[in-house]
Chains A and B, each alone.
Chain A
């Protein structure tokens, strides 16, 4: 029987890496891990990253691994890396990174939701609401309410051909578009709302978006 090492400790530029074998039985791995971390020869305190490789570990198992490593007073876990996720998790991530397109008018009393970006081709009328996990782009008149980055992403923006919303919300911030608000333009054509570094929602010309949020562009190639 070959004595393959189930737990490898490697040193990298970022610190120590605990490489866990992803082919052996889970129980064997735990035993080996326990032995490795309690071994003598470790000195001081080192930051360590755990790589579980291609083994799918559920939350319980990850906790278990974390617990074992933390028993050693020499090791401090900075993060756990895995090369695999479940199909379900993948689909959810996919939804969040996709942009959903809606063609039509969001009328009073209607609510539109998307996990990722949301593109509305049509107007959003007063008392209509559009909500997205990502950014919101309205090709039409936004005259209702819009909430971008609903799960807390403060990088998200709300852009519209005509930005005349009653309420603008980005992540945890909300701005009422009352008459007192000075950021409103006379002719709110081609504008975008974003969170300014000063912590408030600001409105600027749509053309400035590529400077304000260069990361929003996902386009590859071209010249």
Chain B
């Protein structure tokens, strides 16, 4: 029996879908059988980021309305043999096409076959959010160091605490170390004390993420980048390892400071 994790944020554009795609891929790289569910009915994206857009035949709404079997709607990612699957959202309906009860039942069935079921939640706190949370055992809240994203994360955490799921954990996405260092954006410590939930990981802002998303290849597949390492660290933490938070300072060190550091030893 696997576990279902919902990935949510409240605010849009903070990187829920990118995070879902990357965590799913990284879990598959760790030999876990993973199913990703896109619950953003009407505005599906997850298939595009995974590069699976062309292979969709049936979708989430077809499944819950009984037009196909769950297995028929699942899209297999051929890069991972039988480890990574996507249940895409419908593009032609809206959020009200599915009820939380139907979602809970669907997730329950998927948990029998998969080690992890990751649910990509749409932005907002309406029907789409309620559907996404319905079947989840755990929750991950994604935020960025912007004050507006943190406010919305606070609201969503309040709502999640009312659900019968474990206390949510936090991912701070798109961190720009220089801004944080200069005090121009909230720092990691400030955000975690404000939201007072456990920190699952931090991900630096990286152009490479955008580039690879546009190619339909999640960034974790290029392990040399900092963002990929950050996502892989998060997955190791999800699997129960204790991995220290990555330091964001090192990357932008110039030659001069490297030499200085040498002498400092």
Contacts and interface: CB of A to CB of B under 8 A. Distances in A.
Contacts of B196: 105, 122-123
Contacts of A123: 194, 196
B133 to A, nearest CB: 16
Interface stretch (B45-53, B56-64, B149-157): B149-157
Interface of B: 151-152, 154-155, 157-159, 161, 194, 196
Interface stretch (A6-14, A22-30, A106-114, A150-158): A106-114
Interface of A: 105, 107-110, 122-123, 125-128
Contact of B157 (A107, A122, A126, A127): A107
Given A107-B158, A108-B151, 11 more contacts: A107-B154, A107-B161, A108-B155, A109-B158, A122-B196, A123-B194, A125-B154, A125-B194, A126-B151, A127-B151, A127-B154
B190 to A, nearest CB: 12
Nearest to A144: B154
A10 B154 CA distance: 65
B131 to A, nearest CB: 20
Contacts of A107: 154-155, 157-158, 161
A111 B155 CA distance: 12
Contacts of B161: 107
Q: Which of B155, B157, B159 has the most CB of A within 10 A?
A: B155
- 8 A-B pairs with least C-beta separation: A107-B158, A108-B155, A108-B154, A109-B155, A107-B154, A125-B154, A110-B158, A105-B196
Contacts of A108: 151-152, 154-155, 158
18 contacts: A105-B158, A107-B154, A107-B157, A107-B158, A107-B161, A108-B151, A108-B152, A108-B154, A108-B155, A108-B158, A109-B155, A109-B158, A109-B159, A110-B158, A123-B196, A125-B194, A126-B151, A126-B154
Q: Which of A109, A123, A127 has the most CB of B within 10 A?
A: A109
A123 B190 CA distance: 13
Nearest to A126: B151
Contacts of A126: 151, 154
A110 B162 CA distance: 11
Contacts of B159: 109
Contacts of B194: 123, 125
A141 to B, nearest CB: 9
